[in-house]
Amino acid sequence: MARVNRKIILSLAAATLFGTMLLAQPGGMGSKCPMSSSTCSKGMMGKGSANALFLELNLSDAQKKQFKELQMQGQKLRPQMQKSRMKSMSMSQYLSDKSFDKQKFIEDQTKMMSARITMRAENFEKRYNILNDEQKIEFAKMLKERDERMANRMENMQYMFQNKKSVK
């Protein structure tokens, strides 16, 4: 019996080691990322994200280089954005001894969100403009399919949630 337990433990350890080695490889297991692993972080390459869809297209080397340059530009801005985000999260700046400046808080948060949305739209537009006409058509098709899958998932979740309520 002890011999069987030892074999099971060794098998599990080997499987864990093998799985870890697969996931540690550049791009991870089964990655479709055409670039090096350093340029395909989880945030950028979340499965189904617009960025992941861009990279599923048959990009030329020049297009891949342009995508990489855009990402590098974004990385340079990241510390500044984090500093701004940390400042905006501090509620103490809106407090006085007797009150909370709700209006100032709303104004500051609205400005921050507007700047974020603008930056996101500009970044998307830059990436979209890298594509040729055929790729733009394919990208639009992929995006529509993704949105339909998402809508179906949401419908299914809502259906399951309603059924759980009715069972209770």
| pLDDT tens-digit readout, 113-150 | 898 899 889 988 999 999 999 999 998 998 898 889 88
CB 88 within 8 A of CB 111: no
| pLDDT tens-digit readout, 36-85 | 444 444 444 455 677 778 778 888 999 989 988 988 888 888 888 787 77
pLDDT at 29 over 50: no
Phi, psi of 134 (to 5 degrees): -65, -45
Q: How many CB atoms lie within 10 A of CB 154?
A: 10
Q: Rounded CA gap, 88 and 66, in Å?
A: 32
Q: Rounded to whole angstroms, what are the CA distances from 146 to 31, 46, 154?
A: 18, 13, 12
Predicted local distance difference test score (pLDDT) of residue 23: 58
- Average pLDDT over every residue of 80-92: 76
CB 130 within 8 A of CB 67: yes
